[in-house]
Amino acid sequence: MIESILRLSIERRWLMLSLILVLLGSGIWSYQQLPIDAVPDITNVQVQINTEAPGYSPLESEQRITYPVETALAGIPNLSYTRSLSRYGLSQVTVVFEEGTDLYFARNLINERLGVIKSSLPPGLEPSMGPIATGLGEIFSYTVEAEPGAVQANGSPYDATALREIQDWIIKPQLALVPGITEINTIGGYDKQYHVTPKPQAMLAFGVSLDDIGDALRSNNNNRGAGYVERNGQQLLVRSPGQLQAIVDIEQVVIKDIDGVPVKIADVAGVAIGKELRTGAATRDGKETVLGTAMMLVGENSRTVALAVAERLEQIQKTLPDGIKLDTVYDRTVLVDKAIGTVQKNLVEGALLVIAVLFLLLGNIRAALITAAVIPLAMLATITGMVKAGVSANLMSLGALDFGLIVDGAVIIVENAIRRLAEAQRRNGGKQPLKERLQLVFEATNEVIRPSLFGVMIITVVYIPLFSLTGVEGKMFHPMAATVVMALLAALVLSLTLVPAAIAVFMTGNISEKENRVVSAAKSLYEPALKGAMKLRWWVLSAALSLVVFSGWLSTTLGSEFIPQLKEGDIALHAMRIPGTGLEQAVSMQFQLEERIMEFPQVDKVFAKIGTPEVATDPMPPNVADNFVMLKPRDQWPDPTMTQTELVREIEAAVKQLPGNNYEFTQPIQMRFNELISGVRADLGIKVFGDDLEQLEVSAEEILPVIESMPGAADARVEQVSGLPMLSVVPKRLAIARYGLNVMMVQDLVAAAIGGEPAGLIFEGDRRFELIVRLPESIRRDFDGLSELPVPLRNGGYVPLSEVATLDIAPAPNQISRENGKRRVVVTTNVRGRDLGSFVAEVKTRIAQEVDLPAGYWLDYGGTFEQLESATQRLSIVVPITLVVILGLLVMAFNSFKDAAIIFTGVPLALTGGVISLWLRDMPLSISAGVGFIALSGVAVLNGLVMLAFIRDLWHERGDLASAVIDGALIRLRPVLMTALVASLGFVPMALNTGTGAEVQRPLATVVIGGIVSSTILTLFVLPILYRLAHGREKV
């Protein structure tokens, strides 16, 4: 089959060449569609269901909202698990689906279920699904600022409420229309509200209750349409406007009438524009601000969307009142551009180096160009494939692309073809006729196509274990493996079709295959060296063996990490205060923190989100703030050579001086991922499930000492569930009965007095603002005053609140976590200096023996040990299978197990170089480096294959093993050197680059370069020796 393809390609060579145009076209078109981002999206398929429940405490929001929502979700197809969080004013249920579930399908299912339970939720609460976005979705943030001296239309300076109004009603509606944006999330400032603040004394004096005020406002604030009438043939629409327009209108609303004298709102209450009871705030550079974040729709191209947002913001800026300016504080484009710039630089430089090497070694510019042409063509084909497969272009997916590897197959073919052509020309002393030339090209290609096909297939096969990774690792490395495999396959197809065709078309004139100086010098060095090595074969072999053993040992001394972390170039930090810290307190602490950070000359701006934004994508309590520290370009630093790590250390040392804050340093994208994927973050999590929170805590506290007493346990802790101080107003049933009240009346009063009661909307054009009845701040904040709050009686009298209810401040749950529909408290621990498996087993038996759980309570073990177990299991099956497959391919290629095994020795020999180069560059072992090793094994096998195939053919031709080995090795020196050189040089820019994102790619490149060097040297010497030893006593 291969032969017929080759024949076809050579005969229909012009057709083949014209296919380039198709490839170009589809590649360029695909490039426009290709999603580009900095890192792969590792978010799982999840849907957040947020229900805002103003005023609900954690217990109430769990009982009234979270529970029904969770119950409704049971039995949804493809459901992996649910987890939920019930906090003050918010219930969030996160539904995680099996990998591969279509997000829109999942949302549809949930939508349907939510529709069913809507009636069983407390009235007025609407569960809504979070934005259709992933962890990479927050691509753009801006602040709305007032310039100093800017004043509103009414002459007062802009405050946080006014800025928020501009954000909500001018900016957001325009920005939300940008294609690819799914949500504009706002945090900071205050929602403008109209507040009616009744004075208890005046209410008593006029015998007016909070209810009366609410009712009066509700029934005096409506527009009504009243149909139409015809008048002299003309239609007149009838309408009765009655909406309240302004504060004056509200003040004039009549509540009741005493002896013919109307009691108006103004008589019993103040009316003013007030502040909502907000759950989140935003700060910037030590001041309050309003922060908008544009969230990108799943699967969009972040760069395009961020650019479109920036452009739209500029247009919006023109529509804003004078003195208001929008300021971009975070723009993903910057990072993506930098990262993609790094990748591009790596790829382009790599490609140039490869071309240079090709030209240098082939000594024929046409041949070099044909080979080099494979690079852009394979790349375009890969891009087409990436778009089709939904793989985005990013540091990881493009991080393992080595043009050296890609052109390997083509190099071998081209090299052989020009060698044969040159030979033929030398024999014939001139050009051959077309037919002969075509035949020659066919033969030359056919001669080496099998080994190179096998080689490429083997490289492809070695990437297969990567596909078996699941979870976060899978998301990181699947795109990488997919891209490489696609590129290799594309190159394979090209070297089968296009390369022979191009050789047939373009390699016409004199084939100036000069044994150029480099190659001949190498040969003249290689020949004696190889002969010497053959003599000292046992020495060479044992040296190689000890090298392998040594590097095996060395690899255990290398540090280890999972994946090198992308340096995003900006710093993010969680500033955490103790649970129960109020929002205003947190804001003032935040001011100090930001002022301190701004003192660093390297810092451009710093902004923070405190608490929960409008759309609760990341529901933080008010005591936690996400800080973003944007750095100036390095050349503006006082000391541009300072590393970011050092800067972070300095900032950390400085902010640690500030009282009351605890920090966790991270990076913006990283932080977002953590928030979305979170589960149990430790090696082992022991989840206690049950009903009663107190019992759960007690049981967890019993488990803790058991774990702490075990060797290897580190950082064991119980999840913090309580600690939120809560003021409980507990109705006294007897007293209530005596005064003719009921519990609800008391609760309504407390809710309205403290939290406020919505009493309709005030419209200002499109803008609508809530009208709230709430006690004045001075009374709300006064704990003693609250206990004397008059509760109106039905007969017109009153009774102080303390008479009918007890007021009590006590700690209460600050959040309730549930998993799969049950309350849970987690005990987490890490394991140090001990293998996780035995630790987990011991934990299980010891807890079973020592901890007595009440009926209805049970344990579940989770944490990263699960992933480890599954990853270990998977790899321990997949890696051997892969090895067997490779061996099988080699056996197929050679029909000899012996030869296959000899070629296989190239693998450990290649790995030695990789390990040593890691050690030299002081890099830890990581999965990225592991991928490098995988690629390396492929290259090593390919090298061996090329050499061995030729030696064997030569041996079979001549019958003399010794000379066949030496000559074969010499003839194959050029292709082996070439494939090695191009493969390693292709990675050199990647290994040396220091740009943004280079750290992710560096280990892989380092390993491949080091490994190829060692593998080449060893292939050139050890392989011939082994072959000779293995076949020394055989006859042809």
Partner 1 sequence: MNICILKKKGSLGLVIGFVALLTLSLVANSESDDHAQHGHESHDHAKQDYEEHQGDDHEEHQGDDHEEGHEEENEEHGHEGGDLEDQEGVVEIADAMASKAGISTAVAGPGEINKTLTVYGRVIADPGRISHIRARFPGTITQVNVSIGERVEKGQKLAEVESNESLKRYVLKAPFSGIITARHASQGEATEEQALFTVANFDQVWAEFQIFPGQMSRIALGQPVTMSVESEQTTSTIKHLIPSDSGQPFVLARAAIDNKQGRWTPGLLLQGLVSVEQVQASLRVDNRSLQTFENRTVAFVKEGERYEARPVTLGRSDSRFTEVLDGLKPGDEYVVINSYLIKADLEKSGASHDH
- Burial zone of 581 (CB within 10 Å; 0-12 exposed, 13-18 middle, 19+ buried): middle
In whole angstroms, how close is the CB of 974 to partner 1 at the nearest point?
Answer: 26
In whole angstroms, how close is the CB of 842 to partner 1 at the nearest point?
Answer: 16
Burial 671-695 (b: 16+ CB within 10 A, else e): bbbeebbebbebbbbbbbbbeebeb
- Cβ proximity to partner 1: between 764 and 788 the closer is 788
Distance CA 708, CA 700 (A): 12
Cβ pair 1005, 401 in contact under 8 A: no
Q: Which two tokens stand for residue 501?
A: 């065709």
Element (H, E) at 274: strand 269-275
Amino acid at 37: D
Distance CA 879, CA 871 (A): 11
- Cβ proximity to partner 1: between 589 and 966 the closer is 589
- Cβ proximity to partner 1: between 42 and 980 the closer is 42
Chain-centre distance of CA 448, in angstroms? Answer: 43
In whole angstroms, how close is the CB of 237 to partner 1 at the nearest point?
Answer: 47
Distance CA 425, CA 433 (A): 11
* Whole-Å CA distances, 405 to 333, 353, 971: 31, 13, 21
* Whole-Å CA distances, 430 to 368, 424, 437, 973: 22, 8, 12, 27
In whole angstroms, how close is the CB of 483 to partner 1 at the nearest point?
Answer: 20
- Cβ proximity to partner 1: between 18 and 565 the closer is 565
- Cβ proximity to partner 1: between 13 and 567 the closer is 567
In whole angstroms, how close is the CB of 863 to partner 1 at the nearest point?
Answer: 8
- Cβ proximity to partner 1: between 506 and 919 the closer is 919
- Cβ proximity to partner 1: between 26 and 585 the closer is 585
Amino acid at 295: M
- Cβ proximity to partner 1: between 242 and 797 the closer is 797
**DSSP 3-state assignment of 385?**
helix
Distance CA 211, CA 862 (A): 51
- Cβ proximity to partner 1: between 520 and 728 the closer is 728
In whole angstroms, how close is the CB of 784 to partner 1 at the nearest point?
Answer: 6
Residue 834: CB atoms within 10 A of its CB come to 14
Distance CA 90, CA 65 (A): 9
Q: Which two tokens stand for residue 154?
A: 């009414």
- Cβ proximity to partner 1: between 280 and 350 the closer is 280
In whole angstroms, how close is the CB of 748 to partner 1 at the nearest point?
Answer: 20
Cβ pair 87, 619 in contact under 8 A: yes
| Residue 352 exposure: Cα atoms within 13 Å on the Cβ side | 7
| Residue 595 exposure: Cα atoms within 13 Å on the Cβ side | 11
Element (H, E) at 166: helix 160-166
- Burial zone of 508 (CB within 10 Å; 0-12 exposed, 13-18 middle, 19+ buried): middle
Cβ pair 69, 49 in contact under 8 A: yes
Q: Which residues lie below 8 Å from residue 892, measured CB to CB, with a gap of 6+?
A: 454
Distance CA 159, CA 324 (A): 11
In whole angstroms, how close is the CB of 97 to partner 1 at the nearest point?
Answer: 16
In whole angstroms, how close is the CB of 151 to partner 1 at the nearest point?
Answer: 29
- Cβ proximity to partner 1: between 319 and 588 the closer is 588
3-state secondary structure string across 655-696: HHCCCCCEEEEECHHHHHHHHHHCCCCCCEEEEEEECCHHHH
In whole angstroms, how close is the CB of 901 to partner 1 at the nearest point?
Answer: 5
In whole angstroms, how close is the CB of 578 to partner 1 at the nearest point?
Answer: 4
- Cβ proximity to partner 1: between 138 and 719 the closer is 719
In whole angstroms, how close is the CB of 140 to partner 1 at the nearest point?
Answer: 23
* Whole-Å CA distances, 617 to 49, 138, 694: 9, 10, 29
Quickly tell me which residue has 């009590």 as its tokens. 808
In whole angstroms, how close is the CB of 425 to partner 1 at the nearest point?
Answer: 42
Order the strands of the 757-764 sheet from edge to edge.
269-275, 192-198, 767-773, 757-764
In whole angstroms, how close is the CB of 881 to partner 1 at the nearest point?
Answer: 12
Chain-centre distance of CA 160, in angstroms? Answer: 32
Q: Which residues lie below 8 Å from residue 790, measured CB to CB, with a gap of 6+?
A: 200, 203, 204, 798, 799, 800, 801
In whole angstroms, how close is the CB of 154 to partner 1 at the nearest point?
Answer: 27
In whole angstroms, how close is the CB of 806 to partner 1 at the nearest point?
Answer: 10
- Cβ proximity to partner 1: between 163 and 918 the closer is 918
Residue 958: CB atoms within 10 A of its CB come to 14
In whole angstroms, how close is the CB of 834 to partner 1 at the nearest point?
Answer: 10
In whole angstroms, how close is the CB of 936 to partner 1 at the nearest point?
Answer: 10
Residue 88: CB atoms within 10 A of its CB come to 22
- Cβ proximity to partner 1: between 784 and 852 the closer is 784
- Cβ proximity to partner 1: between 449 and 903 the closer is 903
- Cβ proximity to partner 1: between 126 and 646 the closer is 646
- Cβ proximity to partner 1: between 267 and 757 the closer is 267
Burial 489-499 (b: 16+ CB within 10 A, else e): bbbbbbbbbbb
CA dihedral over 1027, 1031, 1035, 1036, signed as positive or negative:
negative
- Cβ proximity to partner 1: between 318 and 1033 the closer is 1033
